[in-house]
C-alpha cells in the first residue's frame, strides 16, 4: 500500500457486498481473536472445520476496547493467505488514533482483505462506562465509514441494533444512525445478536421506509453457555427471553443439553429470518464449530440455504 494513495487488491475474492447481492441467502461465521496458544489451536481448528462448509465470508472481531487489535489483524491476514475463505476485517475507534486506524487499514489492504466491518466499539472493562474518544481519534462509527471509504476500494460494513442501543435515546435514533452510515457509503450492516425475529423486521422495514435497501444481515448466536449469554444481555441490554432462560436453567450444567437447546432455538430463529427475507445469516461461533455446523446442517436439510 502506498502512503496517501488509494488501495488496490490482489486476487479475485468477491466482496461481501457482491455476495449479499446474490438471490441465495449467505451463511457467514464470526470468530474472536484468541489470547493464548491454546486459543490459537482451537480457533484454527474451528476455521478449518467450518471452511469445509464453504461459507460466504468470515470475520475475526476485536476484543473489548480494541485490546486484540494486532491479533485480530494477524488472524485476518492468516485467513486471507492460508485459506480459501473470504475474510472481513474489523475496525473499531476505541483507544485508536487516526494514524493507528490508517495503519490497520493498510495491513488489511496489503493482505488483500477488501471487506471491513467498522464499529465504534465499547470502552474497555465496562461497556456501559463513559465513552471517551482518543485525543487523536474518532468519535462516531460514521467517521470510520468515511475513513475506510477514503482509504481505498473497500467494501464497508457497519453494526446495526435491532433492539435499542444502550447509548441510544430511542429506536428511532438507532434507525437514524444506521441510515446516516448508509448515506456515508456503508454497503451493508450486521446486527447485534437477538432472539426475537420481529425486532429485526421492524428495523429493516424502518430503514427501507427511509429509502435504503442495503442488506442488513442478522447476527445469530447458538447459546452454549447460560451464564455467558446472561452476562452479555446484562452488559448490552439485549433481551434474553424468559422462556428460553428457564429452559436453559432446567438443564443446568449439562453442556450437551444446553447446546442442543441453543441449536434448536438458533435454527428456528434463522428459519424465520430467512422466511422474512433476510439476505443471509452471520453465525457467532465463539471459536467452536459444533453448534454452528449443526445449525448450518439443519438449514441445509430444510433447503433454506
Residues with active-site annotation:
30
Are the CB atoms for 138 and 168 separated by under 8 Å? no
**Residue 243: how many CB atoms within 10 A of its CB?**
9
By CB atoms closer than 10 A (0-12, 13-18, 19+), residue 136 is exposed
Cβ atoms of 153 and 7 closer than 8 Å: yes
Phi, psi at residue 267, to the nearest 5°? -65, -45
3-state DSSP helix/strand/coil percent for the chain, to nearest 5?
Answer: 45, 15, 40
Q: Which residues contact 180 (CB under 8 A, 6 or more apart)?
A: 142
Which residues lie closer than 8 Å to 302 by C-beta, 6 or more apart? 271
Question: How far apart are the C-alpha atoms of 291 and 303, rounded to whole Å?
Answer: 18
List the grid coordinates of 113: 482483505
Instruction: Report the alpha-carbon distance of residue 11 to residue 132 in Å, rounded.
Output: 39
Q: Give the ranges where 88-170 is alpha helix by DSSP (H).
A: 98-110, 141-151
Distance CA 198, CA 11 (A): 39
Amino acid at each position: 500500500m502506498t502512503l496517501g494513495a488509494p488501495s488496490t487488491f490482489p486476487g479475485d475474492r468477491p466482496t461481501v457486498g457482491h455476495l449479499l447481492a446474490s438471490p441465495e441467502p449467505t451463511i457467514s461465521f464470526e470468530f474472536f481473536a484468541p489470547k493464548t496458544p491454546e486459543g490459537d489451536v482451537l480457533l484454527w481448528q474451528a476455521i478449518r472445520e467450518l471452511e469445509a462448509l464453504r461459507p460466504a465470508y468470515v470475520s475475526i472481531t476485536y476484543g473489548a476496547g480494541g485490546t486484540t487489535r494486532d491479533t485480530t489483524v494477524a488472524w485476518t491476514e492468516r485467513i486471507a493467505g492460508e485459506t480459501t475463505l473470504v475474510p472481513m476485517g474489523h475496525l473499531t475507534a476505541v483507544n485508536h488514533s487516526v494514524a493507528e486506524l490508517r495503519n490497520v487499514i493498510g495491513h488489511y489492504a496489503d493482505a488483500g482483505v477488501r471487506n471491513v466491518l467498522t464499529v465504534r466499539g465499547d470502552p474497555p472493562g465496562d461497556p456501559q462506562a463513559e465513552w471517551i474518544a482518543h485525543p487523536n481519534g474518532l468519535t462516531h462509527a460514521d467517521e470510520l465509514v468515511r475513513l475506510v471509504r477514503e482509504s481505498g476500494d473497500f467494501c464497508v460494513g457497519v453494526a446495526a441494533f435491532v433492539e435499542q442501543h444502550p447509548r441510544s435515546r430511542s429506536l428511532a435514533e438507532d434507525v437514524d444512525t444506521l441510515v446516516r452510515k448508509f448515506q456515508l457509503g456503508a454497503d451493508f450492516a450486521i446486527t447485534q445478536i437477538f432472539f426475537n425475529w420481529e425486532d429485526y423486521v421492524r428495523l429493516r422495514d424502518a430503514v427501507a421506509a427511509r429509502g435504503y435497501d442495503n442488506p442488513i444481515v442478522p447476527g445469530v448466536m447458538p447459546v452454549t453457555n447460560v451464564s455467558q449469554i446472561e452476562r452479555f444481555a446484562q452488559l448490552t441490554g439485549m433481551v434474553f427471553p424468559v422462556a428460553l432462560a428457564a429452559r436453559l436453567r432446567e438443564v443446568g450444567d449439562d453442556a450437551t443439553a444446553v447446546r442442543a437447546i441453543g441449536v434448536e432455538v438458533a435454527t428456528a430463529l434463522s428459519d424465520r429470518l430467512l422466511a422474512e427475507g433476510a439476505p443471509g445469516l452471520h453465525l457467532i461461533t465463539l471459536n467452536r464449530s459444533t453448534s454452528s455446523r449443526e445449525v448450518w446442517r439443519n438449514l441445509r436439510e430444510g433447503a433454506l440455504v
